[in-house]
Structure 1
Amino acid sequence: MLQIPLWQRIVIWGLVAIGVVLALPNAFYSRVERHNDAVKAIEQGVTDPQVLADAALWPDWLPSRLVALGLDLRGGAHLLAEVEVEQVFADRLDGYWPEIRDALRQHRDEIGTFRRLDGPPDELRIRISNPAGLQKAVEVVRGLASPVVSLGSVGATDIEVRAEAPDIVVVSLSEAEKAAITDRTVRQSLEIIRRRVDEVGTREPTIQRQGERRILIQVPGVGSAAELKALIGTTARLTFHPVVGRTTDPDQRPGPGQIIVPSMDEPGVYYILEKTPVVTGEDLVDAEPAFDQNGRPAVHFRFNPTGARKFGRYTAENVGSPFAIVLDNEVISAPVIREPIPGGSGQITGNFTVEESTQLAILLRAGALPAELTFLEERTIGPELGADSIEAGKLAAIVAGIAVLVFMALSYGWFGIIANVALILNVAMIFGLLSLIGATLTLPGIAGIVLTIGMAVDANVLVFERIREELRTARGPARAIELGYEKALSAILDANITTFITAVILYVMGSGPVRGFAVTLGLGIVTSVFTAVYLTRVMIVMWFERRRPRKIEV
């Protein structure tokens, strides 16, 4: 008998209603977008009258999530960056020196005195005064090697040590350690770039790894690629170094293990610093704009426990000595340590404006990029091009939708009109689900929706053709409708499950626009099956119960 329990009808219509309500904000996109921006501003303490007016543009009791527009629809900036890991290798190798120095000091009776030599950045070279102890020195340094923590490098160590006759020990990173460092550096760069972009409130950025060392960055709504580079291209590398001396000669050659760095505030002045920093910005846990005791803009910072211990120990042992705060290879301040600083917090002062101190605090709080970025490709997509893309997508969807609606109405009559209503609700549910999960809509995503419009009626065609066949066997209309849905179900599921698997593979293996297409296609399949198998059946049953026709035409 052609019957559907009341609770099933309530559930089906309830799901449709939820989907339509979730999709509703997208019909008033600019108004809801202004409302959402105003709500965020109010949460941050902004009480401007215009902001309050924008917040009232959309009722708070209605959903306000929108389908985010991708770069090709909204306009914005596109960057392809490559992470320069060679400097990270050199820094990593330089970080071994204090440990190697302490280990060799314990064996001076066998190896004599030693000193570090200048050499290539990928090697740490040590000369000992007693050539007879060369092998002993190699054994001592080799004993400091640690296993590489990587799935593909089981049993490998992080450093390689060799003797270079007659009296030099050469330390270099192993290939396994370089691969592990590269992976960690790119992952860290990804996270830091994402945090920096999120700090300024941009919408739905795409930040993905491409290949071994490249990162794709797409941020909708940004005015230009140069603006995006200014935000993420700054390394904001903060380090604290012991000061060896000052000079006005930029060509002066520093001693072994030392570097010469220009002063930011004093043109023509250069500082000679110990190359190995006491503490780095990686130990920072917070940074915020502030004012110093003279009312000038500054940045207040705070270290984590590890950084606080190192900073406190150094300041306690070097009271009366200057130390340099270096930001991106410039000394921004070189104060004299007046007293120990055990609390792990301090203040960076310099010739900052309020805007510069705020931007520096954002960069430091988001974290220092572990390596320089080289931008291989940059592109700015104007909002006019995005608007043209949206209009083209709308036109394609409207043409496809009208063609399908006309075809179904002419082919199946009243049943085709029911399928058309379900198709319209199906598109609304797709947008509702996209809004719910916070998906980003791109041009390929629009293509996925257009494809879904065509696929959405496939299930209805199968059902209606089965009903036609059952009517030819002289069955009654109620029994024909019931059998039509039952016998078409397996074919509907088989066709849509295979397409859904394809969408999942595209999502897992693809990136960027391919994922956008896969998301809309996958969601469209789910909603299409729901509307074709359940919604149209409820609508036909409700019509049948009201009209009670003795004969139907499909």
Structure 2
Amino acid sequence: MKLANPSTRRSRPVRTLVVFAVLTMLLPLAGLVAGTFIDGRSAENPDGAGFAPGLALDLEGGTQIILTPTATDGSQITDATVSEAINVIRQRIDANGVTEAEITSQGGQNIVVGIPGKPDEATIALVSQSAQMRFRPVLTIDYGFPLPEDESEAADDETADDATADDAAEESEAPVIENPSDLAQITDEIQQQFDDLDCTAEGALVGRGGDDPDAPLVTCSTDGLFKYILGPVEVEGTHIKQATSGLMPGPNNTVTNEWGVSLTLDSVGAEQFAVTSQRLYDFGDGNPQNQFAIVLDGNVVSAPGINTPIRDGRAQISGSFTRESAATLANQLSFGALPIQFEVQSQQEISATLGSEQLQKGIIAGLIGLVLVVVYSLFQYRTLGLLTVASLVVAGVITYVTIALLSWGMGYRLSLPGVAGLIVAIGFTADSFIVYFERIRDELRNGRTLHFAVQHGWQRARRTIYAAKAVNLISAVILYFLAVGGVQGFAFTLGLTTVIDVMVVVWFTHPVMELLAKVRFFRDGHIASGLNRGRLALTAAKPRYAGAGRVAMPASVSEEAAAEVASQVDAGVDAGTGPVAGEPALVGAVGRSSLPAPATDETGRRLTIAERRAAERRAAAGTTGSGTAENEEGR
């Protein structure tokens, strides 16, 4: 196997540019356009697809909810409890796809939640829910809405056949119960409450939390279709270690099309669940008492039957779940039960605290920075600076489309710190081009042709670029995970633009530079190209910025000597062999000798860099020896 020289490898810049344009610009833009037709943004659908990125609370305004917490056990609310509640609420909101939300404590007593835009009722409910997840055995079940007279009588007959509550209701007071599934718990009062309950009535599903875990519970399903009498709590939701949503597994390791939630319990919960599941399993299929109700904030989320005793602490909840409802339940369970309940103190729409004025100022600041970078690039690199401008435009388009797609697909909201991250990225992106161009210029000073200078310069530059971008990306990742709120927005855009910067310089800037190396204007080093060898000889005698925080110091040569070399190069004259057809004579020896070394030998063969430097040293030694001999003769 042979290792090819990178400079001799066959490159396909045109194909690289076409693939890059399709993958990073055309396909994302087509997806965004399609999204506006399929799920377009509107007043009723603020999180839909649109050509403008979604704005965060500080730029667009939104909804502010003030929650007053109360302890479920009557204990005093502490700062630690409020802090824990804030963390759980933040996790819920982030998991629901809402970003840039502001969650703060107000006086250590209230929790203020600011959500960008106009959140739907599900998001607001997600914030205010206490998520007290409990598992209770089902004692009896019935429809949650009034039935016609004949159907009601038939339903009564069915429940009588199942011996659910009629016999137990004869007792006015419930005896001491040791079995949570004992129907003797259903007193006349509980039975009357159950009979009078209409789950379709307004407000029937609201405010049912705070139930007594040691007493029976009369409640509804979350969809209002069924009502239940449940036994005391047998497993608390705090024993849940993990909950994930997905398609339920079928027999023989197959996957069904039914969505559900998989639960993993801790050791205490697993032990409790094993005892309960065995008892409920013994009731047999078809008996309401075979069901184990999962109660969230007093309402039954699901009441699955026990098909087999569960002794390993791993349970699966299946039923009438959709993908969204299964994911919502799994998120609530994963973040655990809040130790407190919430009362919504107030809910109001708020205007942008910074608003369009601050956004305009941020855009103006970004444009000023962009103009300064463009002016510097054109001044420093002449026509070559236009490649910097083109690369910045490409990076800007990709960044804009990406943020717009993230606003649609992930609910991302652009905040003012995020805008600051985009502005900072302009300088970081331009720095990559400076590193690359300076490496090309260094190779030209060493006597390489532009084609080889581009290839060798890229091999040198990309190591520096990768190292610098890796540092930027690591910093952004650390800042994102350690910070909260607006600082996360800055870190996110900084990391995003860092990745896009690397993509642009590798798959756009370098291929375009390879194409420009074949253009006569740049290949022959026109004075306005930015790659003129005569001017490069002069700049070698001055300090210059080489990118990535690196400053190239001048060689030890006078400006007069550099100017002399430059004039010879511009004239196409080699100090040793005369004019050289098609190739300037600058060999990068400025500072070692005041005379340039020959570019070719007596046969016309082009000398290598090492051979030319050796010739310089011989010429310098000969000059010194001659001067010494003359001095001796004078004596």
Q: Give the TM-score taking structure 1 as reference length.
A: 0.51
1:231 CA drift (Å): 7.3
CA offset at residue 206 of structure 1? Answer: 3.4
Q: Supply the AA of the counterpart residue of 2:289.
A: P
Amino acid across the alignment from 1:479: F
Moved more, 492-501 or 543-552: 543-552
Superposed CA offset, 1:457-479 (max 9, x none): 11211222232233233332222
Cα displacement (A) at 1:371: 1.6
Which one of 376, 384, 390 corresponds to residue 415 of structure 1? 384
Partner residue in 2 for 1:222: 118
Question: Displacement, 1:506?
Answer: 0.7
- The equivalent of 2:372 in structure 1 is 403
Closer, same or farther in 2 for the Cα pair 1:26/1:517, shift >3 Å? Answer: farther
Greater relative CO, 1 or 2 (CA 8 Å, sep 6+): 1
Equivalents in 1 of 2:144, 2:467: separation in Å? 63
Find the aligned partners of 1:371 and 1:382 in 2 and give their Cα distance.
Answer: 30
| Aligned match of 1:485 | 458
Q: CA deviation at 1:374?
A: 7.3
Match of 2:56 in 1: 70
Give the counterpart of 1:292 among 146, 152, 159: 146
Q: Give the aligned partner of residue 551 of structure 1.
A: 525
SS of the residue corresponding to residue 448 of structure 2 reads coil
Q: Is the 8 A contact 1:316 1:341 kept in 2?
A: no
Instruction: Label 1:310 to 1:229 Cα distance change in 2 as closer, same or farther (>3 A).
Output: farther
Q: 2: distance between equivalents of 1:504 and 1:374?
A: 36
CA distance in 2, matches of 1:513, 1:536: 32
Mark the CA change 1:472 to 1:322 in structure 2 (over 3 Å): closer, same or farther: closer
Partner SS, residue 378 of structure 2: helix
- Measured after TM superposition, the shift of residue 233 of structure 1 is 3.7
Over 3 Å counting, the alpha-carbon distance change for 1:424 and 1:290 in structure 2 is: farther
C-alpha distance 468-235 of structure 1, shift in aligned 2 (>3 A): closer
Determine whether 1:36 maps to 2:39.
yes
Deviates more, 1:477-486 or 1:431-440: 431-440
- Matched residue of 1:545: which SS? coil
Equivalent pair of 2:59/2:358 in contact (CA under 8 Å): yes
Partners in 2 of 1:411 and 1:78 — Cα distance? 51
Amino acid at match of 2:365: A
* In 2, Cα distance between equivalents of 1:336 and 1:494: 63
1:206 aligns with 2:180: no
Partner of 1:318: 186
CA distance in 2, matches of 1:369, 1:293: 37
Q: Provide the rounded CA distance (Å) in 2 between the counterparts of 1:390 and 1:284.
A: 55
| Partner residue in 2 for 1:167 | none
1:234 and 1:390 map into 2 onto residues whose CA distance is 34
Map 1:346-495 → 2, pairs under 5 A? 371-373=340-342, 380-382=349-351, 386-434=355-403, 435=405, 438=410, 439-495=412-468
The one-letter amino acid of 1:327's match is R
1:24 is matched with which residue? 29
CA deviation map 1:387-426 (0-9, x unaligned): 4444333333333223322332232122111121111111
1:18 is paired with a residue whose SS is helix
Counterparts of residues 237-276 of structure 1 (less than 5 Å): none
Aligned 8 A contact 2:417 2:486 in 1: yes
- Give, as a single letter, the amino acid of the residue that structure 1 aligns with 2:523: P
The answer on whether the counterparts of 1:81 and 1:374 sit within 8 Å (CA) in structure 2 is yes
Cα distance between partner residues in 1 of 2:42 and 2:348: 32
Return the offset for 1:510.
0.6
Check conservation: 1:312, 1:341, Cα contact below 8 A: no
Aligned amino acid, residue 499 of structure 2: V
Is the 1:79–1:218 Cα contact (8 Å) retained in structure 2? Answer: yes
Please name the residue that 1:342 is paired with: 289
2:208 to 304, 327, 344: 327
SS of residue paired to 2:115: strand
Contact 1:471/1:480 (8 A) holds in 2: yes
CA contact (8 A) 1:68 1:204 kept: no
| Equivalent residue number for residue 253 of structure 1 | none
Give per-residue Cα distances to partners, 1:162-184, cap 9 Å, x unaligned. Answer: xxxxxxxxxxxxx9xx99x9998
Query: Which amino acid letter does the alignment assign opposite residue 398 of structure 2?
Result: M
- Residue identity over aligned pairs, in percent, reads 21
CA distance in 2, matches of 1:520, 1:312: 54
TM-score relative to the length of structure 2: 0.45
Q: Secondary structure at the match of 1:459?
A: helix
- The amino acid across from 1:423 in the alignment is L
| Structure 2 CA distance for partners of 1:407 and 1:216, relative to 1, 3 Å | farther
Q: CA RMSD in A?
A: 5.5
Any idea what the Cα deviations from partners look like across 1:464-508, whole Å, max 9, x if unmatched? 223223323333222222332233333323333222222122112
The gaps in structure 1 that reach 5 residues or longer are: 42-50, 59-63, 91-120, 123-174, 238-279, 296-308, 347-361
2:137 and 2:359 mapped to 1: Cα distance?
44
Q: CA 1:483–1:282 in structure 2 vs 1: closer, same or farther (change >3 Å)?
A: same
Q: Residue by residue, what CA displacement relative to the aligned partner does 1:64-116 show, whole Å, maximum 9, x if unpaired?
A: 797443222332134576754xx2455xxxxxxxxxxxxxxxxxxxxxxxxxx
2:19: which partner in 1? 14
What's the secondary structure of 1:511's corresponding residue? coil
Please identify the structure whose Cα radius of gyration is greater: 2
Aligned length: 366
